[in-house]
Structure 1
């Protein structure tokens, strides 16, 4: 089994980004999620697994994978206790993937986006690196000192938010707007749209979980 899972979910999918991401990955475990399966089908990409309730997917596509391929299909009742993307993330963790990349997790309803961000806690707790990616954003969770190198940045901006409890002792070095021993709370917008001023930014904090968003404007 591949050590990297690429989840293709049902939100907005940038064709170039998705195809390039899949091509560059070495033998990835591709998990198609509900409407994301349609993208894979249209581009003749055979996924490793298909999951979802398929309420937004053509039945002909589902039947194709059931009858014409050997792809494992995990179909769920639309009345369930977890989102399709959460089910896919849990599958990636269960399969022992060391990295999980989630595509199609943004671009639609805000409640779906926020649920997907919170779902990052599942691999985070399991020690699995997980990232939500689209053409403008790279989103992940961090729980320890992190270095953001300018040459590796996904965009010119980065924003920080606490996930759950406040983040204590937040310090930023090398940023356009540095911080020292800041307590970041859920109502705090101070850490939105910062920039990497030097070669790298060092993000450090004593306790808490930080949502790190690296962003860029739409072309």
Structure 2
């Protein structure tokens, strides 16, 4: 939908600056939020965040206070003894800013518990009206949920990488049909317990491919070698 506000979250995980800088420069972001050590990345990229949020246990409180004093930026500081992750806090801030879409960098490639939590958070965010997309130099991850995303088009000229995988985020994803892919499907069910790898490492066989499904939620991973 045109006119929707798109936010950017810089998380504290590993991030290749040579990838991040041109990626960010090509976008227009209405709101920029950093989560904990993502603040350092923001400074290295010469960006001004609208809000820096987190417990700052990774960045360090002393460094955080130094940055706050020298920049005058807005901070939302939390205790390390909290129920939410720093990413959850950042997503909440983006929602409060009225964004309906957010790109997230630095959410993958580090601690696996953090990465899995960030991926699972995409479903919660969608239920709040926010579409999350996670990016790194090799992968783009986003959520698809029936019925609204059934019929999603994938264009070869816009593909983030050569490979497209669909992973179940709900116990079952029913009635998957893949058209225009190297490995097509017709009305197949995808189950976490029975065949979770059924739709891994597919490829577009035509210039345009389509995904249809009847029930459930999927994580789509577009990736490159």
TM range (shorter): over 0.9
TM-score scaled to structure 2, two decimals?
0.91
Aligned equivalent of 1:201:
209
| Residue aligning to 1:169 | 175
**In the aligned structure 2, how far is the partner of 1:175 from the partner of 1:44?**
41
Could you say which residue in structure 2 is the equivalent of 1:39?
41
Q: CA deviation at 1:142?
A: 0.7
Say if 2:83 is the partner of 1:75: no
The within-5 A match list for 1:66-105 is 66-105=68-107
> What is the rounded CA distance, in whole Å, between the counterparts of 1:127 and 1:212 in structure 2?
18
Cα distance in 1 for residues equivalent to 2:210 and 2:109: 29
Name the counterpart of 2:25.
23
Q: CA deviation at 1:98?
A: 2.1
Distance 1:26 1:118 in 2: 26
Q: Is the 8 A contact 2:153 2:211 kept in 1?
A: yes
Contact 2:7 2:29 in 1 (8 A): no
Q: Are the equivalent residues in 2 in contact too, given 1:66–1:73 (CA < 8 A)?
A: yes
Q: Is the 8 A contact 2:8 2:29 kept in 1?
A: no
TM-score by length of 1: 0.93
CA distance 1:131–1:166, shift in 2 (3 Å)? same
Distance 1:43 1:131 in 2: 20
CA shift, 1:27, in A, is 4.6
1:174–1:202 contact (8 Å) kept in structure 2? yes
Q: Following the alignment from structure 1 to structure 2, what is the Cα–Cα distance between the partners of residues 44 and 19?
A: 10
**Partners of 1:10 and 1:111 in 2: how far apart?**
13
Question: Which 4+ residue blocks in structure 1 deviate beyond 6 angstroms?
Answer: none
Aligned residue for 2:21, secondary structure, equals helix
- The alpha-carbon deviation at position 20 of structure 1 amounts to 1.7
Per-residue CA deviations over 1:67-119 (Å, capped at 9, x if unaligned) read 23332211111111111011101211121112100000001121111100011
Give 1:47 deviation, angstroms: 1.1
Determine helix, strand or coil for the equivalent of 2:132.
Answer: strand
Cα shift at 1:60: 4.1
Is 2:188 the partner of 1:186? no
2:20 matches 1:9:
no
Q: Structure 1 residues 123 and 18, CA, compared in 2 at 3 Å: closer, same or farther?
A: same
